[in-house]
Amino acid sequence: MHKRLQKLRIGPTFIEYTKYQHQLEHSDQMQFLPQPELTDPTPTDLPLFDLPKPDQLNIGEIDLTKAINQRVSVRKYTDQKFSLEELSYLLWTTQGIREITDRPATLRTVPSAGSRHSFETYLLINRVETLKPGLYKYCALDHKLALLSDAPSLADELTDICHRQGMVRNSAVTFFWAAEIYRNVWRYQERAYRYVHLDAGHVCQNLYLACEAIASGCCGIAAFDDDRLSEVLQIDGVNRFPVYVATVGKK
């Protein structure tokens, strides 16, 4: 074994104990325990903002091969604001609900292991037309935004939390994806902790490609202070924890 792996055992231990041979005999699903909620309900105690409906968006088309070829991580953005329509498009392409099946499960615009879709989307909005800067949450069921905080220090604080990467402060919008892990654990037990990281890649790649359709750039971020970010997002960091971050803005 490599000497560094001998010193750092957490990674190999994670891989070992998320193998199938370490699973319990029956998952909570197999024991007929109640299925967790498919997604968070739309809050009734927070300011809500309507987003343009997905079937009414007027977004220019781009050839998929061209989008793939020109996709790069973009860390510098202009001061141009996003339109509400553009933000709606990015949210729809990354976590939009296309259908709720009888199973029940949500069929979305991105893949997820077993259609479990653990992610909830939080947004630092810096420059979007008609929206005040602040921290918002995407309400996927109703395709709306809920305002969590409009504290003026948010952009600086979240930049610091993301290891002082300036594109967080300078972005039009920064996406934060947090996993409500029991949605996956209910079916997949400890293996779920592998799957949500795979799902995060699906989500962020959609964001990269969708940005190309609106002449914008994206940069995924995996470096952040987990505990501080959980505190700002108002989540517990255990049952729901941050997995991935991405900044977007006009090139």
- Residues of the chain with pLDDT > 90, as a percent, come to 94
Segments making up each domain of the chain, as ranges: 48-250
Instruction: Indicate the CATH number for domain 48-250.
Output: 3.40.109.10
- On whether the CB atoms of residues 131 and 145 are closer than 8 A, the answer is yes
Rounded Cα gap, residues 248 and 216, in angstroms? 7
pLDDT bin (cut points 50, 70, 90) of residue 7 is low
What predicted TM-score, i.e. pTM, was given to this entire model? 0.95
In three-state form (DSSP H/G/I as H, E/B as E, the rest C), the secondary structure along the chain is: CCHHHHHCCHHHHHHHHCCHHHCCCCCCCCCCCCCCCCCCCCCCCCCEEECCCHHHCCCCCCCHHHHHHHCCECCCCCCCCECHHHHHHHHHHHHCEEEECCCCCEEECCCCHHHCCCEEEEEEECCECCECCEEEEEECCCCEEEEEECCCCHHHHHHHHCCCCCHHHHCCEEEEEEEECHHHHHHHHHHHHHHHHHHHHHHHHHHHHHHHHCCEEEEEECCCCHHHHHHHHCCCCCCEEEEEEEEEEEC
Give the model confidence (pLDDT) of 49-105 as tens digits.
Answer: 999 999 999 998 899 999 999 999 999 999 999 999 999 999 999 999 999 999 999
Query: For 10-38, how does the pLDDT look when each residue is reduced to its tens digit (9 = 90+)?
Result: 888 999 999 999 999 999 999 999 999 99
What residue has token string 């809050």? 43
pLDDT in tens, 200-219: 999 999 999 999 999 999 99
Looking at residue 203, what is its pLDDT? Answer: 98
Beta strands at 144-149 and 240-250: parallel, antiparallel or unpaired: unpaired
- Taking 60 as the threshold, does the pLDDT of residue 184 lie above it? yes
pLDDT at 8 over 80: no
Q: How many CB atoms lie within 10 A of CB 193?
A: 17
User: What pLDDT score was predicted for residue 60?
Assistant: 86
